[in-house]
Amino acid sequence: MKRKVIFLGFFAIILLISLMTLMDCSGKKEVDYSWVEPTSNSQIEKIKYRIKKETSTEIWEVYNIKSKDFENDHFCATKLSGLGITDDCIGVWAISGDKNNPSMVFSVNWVAKEFSD
């Protein structure tokens, strides 16, 4: 089970980084965004609540992908900005529960682990 979650997290990271990279390209290819869902305000607030206050980090451009394996799990990726943070700093969190009533939040990649509690 743990390997499956780690694999899903790794897959989500690669997928989201690829998506964000394609967004910055010159527009030569059309990208299908149908699998990307709007992120709810509740999910955004859950991520903001987890950000370490002492880092003065802001989040922007939040993307949400619903897990295909778990009914009420979502992967949310967001760009981070703040002092000493590069433009390509992307944090990924797994959030359980309904989009409008999320419960548990897990840091998926090193960026999310570094900047959140």
pLDDT value at position 19?
A: 59
Contact 8, 69 (CB under 8 A): yes
pLDDT value at position 95?
A: 92
pLDDT value at position 25?
A: 40
| pLDDT range class, residue 4, cuts 50, 70, 90 | low
Confidence check: pLDDT of 96 > 70? yes
pLDDT value at position 26?
A: 44
The reported pTM is 0.67
Question: Which of these, 85, 28, 92, lies nearest to 64 by C-alpha position?
Answer: 92
The residue type at 47: I
Question: pLDDT of 45-88, one tens digit each?
Answer: 888 888 877 777 788 888 888 888 888 899 998 888 877 677 67
| pLDDT range class, residue 36, cuts 50, 70, 90 | confident
The residue type at 26: S
Record the tokens describing residue 58, joined without a space: 């802001």
Q: How far apart are the first and last CA of the chain?
A: 24
Neighbours of 75 (CB within 10 A): 22
Confidence check: pLDDT of 103 > 50? yes
